[in-house]
Structure 1
Amino acid sequence: MTTNHEIGNAGQRREEAPPVPSSGRLDRRSFLLGSAAGLGSLGLAGCVTGDDMGRAEAAKFYAAVPSEKFPIPAVDIGKLDPKYFRKVVRYESKEAPGTIIVDPRNYYVYRVEGDGYATRYGANVGRPGFVLNNEAYYVGRKAEWPTWTPPKEMIARQPEARKYAAGMPGGLENPLGARVLYLYKNGVYTVCTIYSTSDPDTIGTAITSGCTGLLSQDMLDLYSRTPVKTKVVMLSA
């Protein structure tokens, strides 16, 4: 998206598919440029295990969310590589449960669940030159359907964004989407976020000015389980 974003580093980890646990109108994309019940002890709502989710199941998983303030459309999963479907995976990490780990090299975001598992989401990430490696941040605040204000650096690069210098109201066309986590370091907002996108074409790409984007349905899940002060770690790109 078009806000700048940064994040931090985690301990060594190894990921593998798990055994089934017991139990005009400015173009949004131009701005981007610049629970599975029954997971036993994990208790993870809205996550699916296994090597790959079938597309029929994914269609239900990424269905429309009409109950939102601005109804979220269904994801066209035909445009999404199945490896980016949300799922629970084996993931060894020294980080505490709840920690968010961004892996820009592989276009994933992980939420550490503990006991050697994590929820994995497909993501878009910062393009070369806009990603900070091996840095640790935290969620300083969070918002639903937030106002988006382009940074002055972005306005300099993309003058068409100047019309929103005072802020763009929340909505489906807003680059931050339905939910956003604002990343801080040492008490200061980094101008980096983890945000929502309804564009599956962006997942698995490095297109942003430093932000990390998840599909709206995935972001609803992550947001609901991420309190303020949660640690966010950026792995090396």
Structure 2
Amino acid sequence: MELKGKIALVTGAGSGIGKAAALRLAAEGAKVAALSRTADEVEKTCAEIKAAGGQSIALTADTSDEAQMRGAVAQLTDTFGGLDIVVANAGINGVWAPIDDLRPEEWDKTIAVNLRGTYLTLHLTAPHLKRHGGSIVVISSINGTRTFTTPGATAYTATKAGQVAMVQQLALELGRHGIRVNAVCPGEIDTNIGANTDSRHREETEVPVIWPQGDIPIGGKAGKSEDVAEAILFLASERARHITGTPIWIDGGQGLLR
């Protein structure tokens, strides 16, 4: 077990990539604090970890709310006594619409969850990581880093580009403390996030390009959350001890077509 004795926080751990990451880190011996806005979902994640013989606590918080996140991090450290790994995964697609139709409050919500939420997660956990070093993994996207063709996804794309910029800035800032900071940038992954996306007037924002059949070179279909979890495990482990400030694309080559 390569993470035995390590303590990890995974945000957005109630489903999809976050849940897969929480289960994978726990399977390698990490004590996992699984955080989500939805108590029922994250408690199920913890129950699966415990059923497999792991240790886990469920934390309920909105990552964009400072008071809630401060309380969640305090609960984590009170329970486990420290922190070694942070997986900042919580995020939303938000509203995808033409820029003149995208309302300010819709823009603000996407920025709040994806950028402010990432900032608060790292702002509140960095003091604990500085004590002994550790690993931060931010879940970004191919959008805003490799591709810019998702119709109407201006707010989402801006946040994902911003996350990678944050990762690279913090890799330099936190390196002296033995903290590595990296990003995982998934392409199309088989999760439920797409079902929660509000898309309007798509015909006004589609890029007039005919994509190759299948669209994803490896296998021609979406990846799995478990594929992303393997990359997260690698970056969290000592195997990645000389890697920092690096985005890793998990997209089956999808981004190379765009």
Asked if Structure 1 and Structure 2 have the same fold, meaning a TM-score greater than 0.5 normalized by the shorter chain, the answer is no
Higher strand share: 1
**Rg larger in structure:** 2
Which structure is richer in relative contact order (CA contacts within 8 A, separation 6 or more)?
A: 1
More helix by share: 2
